[in-house]
Structure 1
């Protein structure tokens, strides 16, 4: 599925490759939830091992492969929406920091589990997320928070259900998952087909074998 340009930070390509622009790309899409432990596991393996050791350092793979994070909000964890909103805010401000901030969210995910957010207001959670964006991605904390903050005042037309500045982007990522029937995280899609053989428990060696068999 195509990636909306508004979400450009979610795409990872390898521009140092010397491949022709006409070379078709394989696409690996990862439907991940920032408060899902299994999503954290697969992302950390990708980020620390697969991408640097197997893809970006291998011209054959890097010239043919693009990776996309698809944000998979899981509503049975109420904070899932909040952390995904923070990632969307970072993407709005600086798409190049999206993967760095995603890494930080996964590193700190237990701070946003149910038990650790139940006693604070929604805006208080947003403030913590804005600080994380500052510390991990170098973004202006207040600029991030302004995109996330929920007003306690009615809108000019009297509406009481106004959302925030990234609500439209939330709708976009939710609709994307619905269109392809993704229900669980993590889900991996390779060239448009769900790759049920890929496991969040894989290490570098298993990924190496998979890439050897599929990136041709």
Structure 2
């Protein structure tokens, strides 16, 4: 049993009420993220580097693991040696499959 509009209604016949846009506004400002921005990514290299490579990877995905291994083996050593003016931003994004 549900109470709808002050009357008891059987569960199978309880009317659904559509919310108006003003009734379901987000309690947080639009600029608020679920995770603070300083924890949302992994950054490799200087933020003032001339170029930025932003990778969206799922660390469980075997294809993403291959990409990350290539970055680790070939790009990161050159960035750390100062040979490559690049910053890499890694964002962990779970794939839907």
The normalised TM-score by structure 1 is: 0.25
Give matches, 1:8-87, under 5 Å.
Answer: 10-14=42-46, 25-52=50-77, 54-59=78-83, 61=84, 64-76=85-97
Q: 1:24 to 1:69 in 2, by over 3 A?
A: closer
CA separation of 1:38/1:56 partners in 2, compared to 1, >3 Å: closer, same or farther? same
The 8 Å contact of residues 49 and 87 in structure 2, kept in 1 or not, is answered as no
Q: Which runs of 5+ in 1 are unaligned?
A: 15-20, 77-216
Aligned-partner SS, 1:34? coil
Choose between structure 1 and 2: higher strand proportion. Answer: 2
RMSD of aligned C-alpha atoms? 2.6
Taking the TM superposition and a 5 Å limit, the aligned residue runs for 1:94-173 are none
Helix, strand or coil at the partner of 1:44: helix
Gaps of 5+ in 2: 1-35
Aligned residues: 62
User: Deviation of residue 67 (structure 1)?
Assistant: 0.6
Deviations 1:6-36 (A, max 9, x none): 335x11125xxxxxx9x65311011101121
1:7 is matched with which residue?
40
Indicate if the aligned counterparts of 2:45 and 2:79 stay in contact, CA closer than 8 A: no
Deviations 1:58-100 (A, max 9, x none): 44x2xx3111101121122xxxxxxxxxxxxxxxxxxxxxxxx
Whether the 8 Å contact between 2:51 and 2:87 is mirrored in structure 1 is yes
CA distance in 2: counterparts of 1:50 and 1:12, whole angstroms: 10
Alpha-carbon separation, structure 1, partners of 2:73 and 2:49: 26
* 1:25 to 1:45, Cα distance in 2 relative to 1, 3 A: same
Which residue number in structure 2 is paired with residue 199 of structure 1?
A: none
| Matches of 1:24 and 1:34, distance apart in 2 | 25
